[in-house]
Amino acid sequence: METHASKKISVDQTLELLDKNMTDYQRLKPVPFEEFLSILNAKPSQILRNIFQAFHDMIKTYVVEPEETISEEGDQLSFTNYDCSKLFVEGSENPFFTDMLFANRFMKQMEYLRHGAQQNRIYIFYGPHGCGKSTFLNNLLKKFEQYANTEEGLRYEIVWRLNIKKLQDKEKSLTVSAFEKLIHYVEKGEDTFKQGTNEKIFGSADAEYIEIPCVSHDNPFLAIPKDQRRIVLDELIKNDEFKWRLFTEKEYEWVFKEEVCTICSSIYHSLLERLGNPSEVYKMLYARPYYFNRRIGNGISVFNPGDSPLKQNVLSNEILQNRINSLFQDSNIISYLYSRFAKINNGIYALMDIKSHNIERMVELHNIISEGLHKVEDIEERVDSLFFALMNPEDKRSIRDFPSFEDRIQYIDIPYILDMKTEVKIFINIFGRHIEGGFLPMVLENFARVIICTRIGKKSQALAEWIKDPAKYKNFCDDQLMLLKMELFSGNIPKWLEEEDIKSLDNKMLKKIIAESEIYGKEGLSGRDSIKLFDQFYSKYAKEDRLVNMSDLCTFINKLDDTAKRMIPPGFMDSLLRMYDYSVLQQVKESLYYYNEEQIAKDIKNYISAVTNEIDSVVKCIFTKEEIHVTEAFLESIENRLISSNMDKKRRDEIRKDVLKEYTTRTLTHEIMIEEKNITETRLFESLYDRYVHNLKKRVLEPFIENENFRNAIKDFDTEKFKTHDKRIKKDVKFLVDNLCKKFGYTIQGANEACIYVIDNDLANKFK
C-alpha cells in the first residue's frame, strides 16, 4: 500500500517533471533592452524578422526540398518535388495533401512574400468546394503558431517597465494603491506567459514598475529612433553576408523605415523628457517573446463568416491608462488606445470564406491594406500583417464592386488534386494503410487516374505540339494523352517515351504544359466525391480471399450513375484498361524471361568456331577451349536459339557464310589481331549476342499461348494439384511468381491472380 509519504514524493516528482518541461516559461521572461541587443548581436537574422520573413522561415523549416527534380536540363529547374508533409500532414488531425503543381505554386508565392515586394496584399486561397481549403489554412496557421512559439521561431516585442520610484523621484506624487496592485495581478494572471513578472509586482510590498506591453507587438529594435538605427546596426553586427543583405535588400527596409507604434513612441518621448537621456529610457525598455495564440487572438486572428462584428472597435485599458496618467501627471500624454488590428500587427489575420460578415471585414481590410494603417480615433495605427482569406468561386462576386481590390489581391488557386499518387495518399489516410493490400498492384492508382481524368482538360495544345504522333503510344496512353499528362503532373517522365520525345521535352515545353494545367482542377469529381466513390468501390469489391483487379474497376465505373460517368471522357476507360493490360503483360514477360549470359556467350563462341571449320570435323574452340563436333545438328541447335527454328537450308547457309565472312575479313584479321580486342568486344559477337537475346525475349510468352500444361500449373499454384505437374513446369511457374513478387511488389497470391488475369484475358495474343 502506498503511504502518504510516497504519494507526496511522486507528486513532487511530477511537479518537478512539469517544471523541467516548462522551458517555454523560462524563455518567455522579458529581458532588458541591453540583453536584447546582445541577443541581436549574436543572432541578427533571427531577431530582425518581420511577420513575412518569419512566415517564410517557418515554411522553409517544414517543407523539404529534395535533390532530384522533374527536369534538370537547362539552367533553371522548372519543378520541384517539395515534400510538404511536415507542414500539412504530420501531427494534424485533418491532414491536407498537396500535389506537385500546387506545392510549386505555393512555394513560389512564399518566396515573393519574403522579399517584401508583395506585402500590401491579401492572399486569397481560391478553389472549388471540397478542395480542402479550410483544412489547408487551419493546418498552415497551426504550424505557424507552433513555430512562432519555439526557440527557432521566436521573435521579440516591446514591453515597457516604467520604474515607479525613478519616475516618482521626478514627479514625487505617485502612489500605487493596494487595490490597484491586486487588479494588476488579476490582469497578469490572465496573461499566462508573463509569469515571471508577477512576483516582483505582487510579492513585494512596493511595486517596482508599471508594465506596459506594446499593443502592436513592435520589434524592440524599432524603439531606437530611425536616424540612429543604421549606425547602431553597423556597430552591433559583424561584417558578413547577412549585414550586407540587411543594409541593401528590400526585404529589410522595414528595419530602417518603420516607425514604432504611437503608444511606444509617446512613452519614449515622455520618458526622455523626464529622464533626460536615452540610456535611462532604454533601462525601462524590455524585450519579451512575441507569443502567438490563436484562441485569444494574440498574433493570429481568424474569422468565420458567422462571427458577428465586435461592438467595440477601439480598445483601451482603463486601469492601466489611469496609472499611466497618474505616473506622468498628465492625462493626454500617452493614450493607451488601440484597435483589434493592433493585436495582429506583425501577425496573421485570416478570413475563412468571403461570405456574410466576412464581406464587411474584407472591405475593411481593403482600406487598411491600401493605406498600410488605419485611424483609431485620432491616432494612426500601423498594420503590417499577413492577410489570408479563403474563397469559393461563387463568392468572387462579393468583391466585384471593388475594382481597386484586384491589385491588392494575390490569388493562389487550390484546385482538386491532379496527381494520382497524392490522391492515393488521401485514400490511405482516410481508410487506412491496409487498403493497399486489398488491390493488385497498379489498380488503386488506376482508380485515382479515373478520378483525376474528370478534373483535367481533354485537349492539350502543348501536348499536341510536343508529341506529333500519339498513336505510337497506344499501349501506354489514350490518344488525347491525358494519361501522359497525369504522369507529368506527378513529376514523372514515363520510361515508355521515345528518346526523341524525351529530348524535346525541355523546360520551355514543360512550362507550357504546366501552364495549361492552371485551369484544371476546378471541375470534375471533388475531393469529397472521390472519397465517397472510393468507399463504395472498396466496400463492394475488397474481399478476404481475392484482390481487387482491373476488371472490378471497369465494372464499377461502368455501373456509375450518369452524372459521374459523363465526366469520364469517352474512350478513357478503354485506354486505361489497355495500358494496364500491356503493363501487366510486360511484367509477366520480364519475370518469365531469364537468360544465362555465360551460356549465351559460350553458345556464340562455339558457333563461330564451328562455322569456320568443315562439317564433321572435331575441333577445339579457340575461345572456350571446348571440344566440338561440327555437325549439321550442332549448328542448327544454336541457330534455332539464335535466329529462328523454322528456317530452310538456304537461309541457314547464308547466315553461316555471313558469319564466316565477317569473322575472316574483320573480326580475326582486324579486331582481334590488330586492335587486340577480346572476342566478346567484336562487332560480330555483339550482333549475334543481341539477336540471341532478342529472340529469347520474343519467345518468352510462348508458354502462355501454346502450353496448356503451363497455364494449368499457374491456376493450380499454391494448391494440392500443383504437385502433380511436370517438374520443369513447376520450376518455371515458381520462377515467374518469385520474380513478380521480387521485381514488382506482388504478393504470392497477387502474382498468381495477375497471371490468371493474363491467361483469362488472353493478353499474350492481344499484344502479339
Q: Output the CA–CA distances (angstroms, integers) from residue 531 to 415, 430, 447, 535, 557, in the order listed.
A: 16, 8, 11, 6, 15
Between 334 and 450, CB nearer to Zn ion = 334
For Zn ion, give the closer residue by CB, 118 or 265: 265
Spatial distance between the Cα atoms of 362 and 382, rounded to a whole number of angstroms: 17
Pick 50 or 216: Cβ nearer Zn ion: 216
Residue 218 C-beta: closest distance to Zn ion, Å = 4
Nearest distance from residue 148's CB to Zn ion, in Å? 18
User: Which residue, 214 or 348, is less far from Zn ion as judged by CB?
Assistant: 214
Per DSSP, 647 falls in state -
CB atoms near residue 752 (< 10 Å): 22
Residues in Cβ contact with 688 at an 8 Å cutoff, skipping those fewer than 6 apart: 604, 607, 608, 642, 659
Q: What is the DSSP string of 260-276?
A: PPHHHHHHHHHHHHHHS
Q: By C-beta, is 143 or 343 nearer to Zn ion?
A: 343
Tell the smallest beta-carbon distance from residue 215 to Zn ion (Å).
Answer: 6
CB of 383 to Zn ion, least distance (A): 13
Contacts (Cβ under 8 Å, ≥6 apart) of 558: 573
Binding site for Zn ion (CB under 5 A): 214, 216, 218, 261, 264
> In whole angstroms, how close is the CB of 379 to Zn ion at the nearest point?
12
- Which of 197/216 has CB closer to Zn ion? 216
Quick check: helix, strand or coil at residue 315?
strand
Q: What Rg, from alpha-carbon coordinates, does the chain have?
A: 38
If you write DSSP's letter for every residue of 531-554 in order, what string do you get?
HHHHHHHHHHH--SSS-B-HHHHH
Q: In the bound complex, what is the minimum distance in angstroms from residue 216's beta carbon to Zn ion?
A: 5
Q: How far apart are CA 689 and CA 678, in angstroms?
A: 14
The residue (of 265 and 304) whose beta carbon lies closer to Zn ion is: 265
Nearer to Zn ion by C-beta: 273 or 498? 273
* Cα 198 to Cα 189: distance, rounded to the nearest angstrom: 8
Backbone angles phi, psi at 423, to 5 degrees: -60, -40
Task: Compare residues 54 and 638 and give the one whose CB is closer to Zn ion.
Answer: 54
With beta carbons less than 8 A apart as the criterion, state whether 69 and 165 touch.
no
- DSSP for 14-60 reads HHHHHHHT-HHHHHTS-EEHHHHHHHHHH-HHHHS--HHHHHHHHHH
Cα–Cα distance measured from residue 55 to residue 49, given in angstroms and rounded to the nearest whole number? 9
What the block records as the C-alpha cell of 707 is: 502450353
